[in-house]
Amino acid sequence: MIPEIQSRAHALLPELIGIRRHLHSRPELSFEEWETAAFIGKELEKIGIPFKKNIAGTGIVALIEGKNPHKKCIALRADMDALPIEEANEVGYKSQNKGVMHACGHDVHTTCLLGAARILNELKEQMEGSVKLIFQPGEEKSPGGASLMIREGVLEQPKPEAIFALHVDPALPSGKTGFKPGRYMASADEIHLTIKGKGGHAALPHLTIDPIAVAALIITALQQVVSRRNNPLLPSVLSFGKISGGSTTNVIPESVDIAGTFRTFDESWRREALRLIGDIATQIASAYGAKAILKIPPGYPVLTNDPEITEKAMSEAAAFLGKEQVCLLDYRMTAEDFAFYTLTTKGCFFRLGTNKEHKAYTAPVHNARFDIDESALATGAGIMSWLAYCFLKA
């Protein structure tokens, strides 16, 4: 079956390139993927796969039923949204939507899943069970499309025994894949902090409560959360990417806004760290007569790949691609809302190489010059098809 799936994936490559370029040129922001969803629906109709739309807004769920469709179910997921980035690539398929770009490869993920849908639908009589195809909105924006789709029952009727997803990796050459059993990607929480003081003339600071000075103290003190309260053997990151307040040189403002992110690999420490961040900010502000208003919306949990499922997937990927094309990944402090699926379902989130011999297409994700070696599309569609087939083969 390996040669057959490889052959089908290779034969689909020109069509996959066309699909990917169409999606890349028409990116849409999180939870606004209406045109993308309509395009996916038309592609599924061409193949003859039934689907439900408007899940969590723009999401789509399709089902390929093999023999004994209720015996077992495997899910494959792809995200659809783009980022608020102005594309810098000068290519024929450059984004036509100003200020929006598929800079994280979700166009690739969707294309690979559509390719896998075509292959698996043609092989369904050789599979025992069903394949659930999940086209998900809003991965880039909290609370994450995964959590919303789960809330609307995407993991029910039928309930998948395992779920798989791939993600582009410009650090790996095309043709390669990467896996990491166990904990793989960090949790991610957004921290929004407002320091309210008392504005006034900068030459009369004794008549004010300076929120800029208080904000500086809080940012410095919060670094102690990771450096002195965290176990140094546990990866954790606390970074602030935004601070805004004031309008000129001689006016002390009324308030200052600070925004940042906290990431780690342990859910207990995550809760404790967020409590400490709130306590420290509140107490320092109070000590200087200011007030700290903290908002931490629910973020993404730690992404944990099921060890058994992932080890099996690695073995099957080596059989499909060759051992030299499969590598073991390290931890990543980046986050992914695929983690929500893994809270209740055995999951495997793996990487798809997209650079060309480390010489081209090496720009990182979330970069205005991100692009891929499009031969990776056949690898992605093929490996997703093969993994689903392996877990469902008769």
Nearest-5° Cα angle at 177, 176 to 178: 130
pLDDT in tens, 299-352: 999 999 999 999 999 999 999 999 999 999 999 999 999 999 999 999 999 999
Q: What is the pTM of this model?
A: 0.94
- The CATH number for 2-185+302-392, chosen from 3.40.630.10, 3.90.1860.10, 3.40.50.300, 2.40.50.140, is 3.40.630.10
- Report strand pairing: 51-55 vs 59-65: antiparallel
Q: Is-same-fold flag (2-185+302-392; 189-295)? A: no
With 0-12 CB in 10 A as exposed, 13-18 as middle and 19+ as buried, what is 235?
A: middle
Helix (H, G, I), strand (E, B), or coil: what is residue 189? strand
At residue 228, does pLDDT exceed 70?
Answer: yes
Q: What residues contact 169, with CB distance under 8 A and at least 6 apart?
A: 178, 351, 352, 353, 354
Q: What residues contact 381, with CB distance under 8 A and at least 6 apart?
A: 9, 12, 16, 111, 112, 113, 114, 115, 116, 118, 119
The pLDDT of residue 394 is 60
Helix axes 211-229, 267-287, angle to 10 degrees: 150
Say how far apart CA 126 and CA 390 lie, in whole Å. 11
Distances (CA, A) of 198 to 112, 146, 161, 248: 55, 42, 57, 16
Say how far apart CA 132 and CA 75 lie, in whole Å. 4
Mean pLDDT of all residues in 202-216: 98
Q: What percent of the residues of the chain are helix, what percent strand, and what percent coil, each to the nearest 5?
A: 35, 30, 35
The pLDDT of residue 393 is 83
pLDDT in tens, 353-386: 999 999 999 999 999 999 999 999 999 999 999 9
Say how far apart CA 15 and CA 20 lie, in whole Å. 9
pLDDT in tens, 276-285: 999 999 999 9
Mean pLDDT of all residues in 75-100: 98
Which ranges of 230-329 would DSSP assign to H, the alpha helix? 267-287, 307-321
- The CATH number for 189-295, chosen from 3.30.70.360, 3.40.50.300, 1.10.40.30, 3.40.225.10, is 3.30.70.360
**What whole-number percentage of the chain has pLDDT above 70?**
100
pLDDT in tens, 145-185: 999 999 999 999 999 999 999 999 999 999 999 999 999 99
At 118, give phi and psi (nearest 5°).
-60, -45
CA trace torsion 270, 227, 336, 138 (10° rounding): 80
Helix (H, G, I), strand (E, B), or coil: what is residue 20? helix
Domain ranges of the chain: 2-185+302-392, 189-295
CB-CB contact of 59 with 77 (8 Å)? no
**Given the structure tokens 């410095």, which residue do they identify?**
220
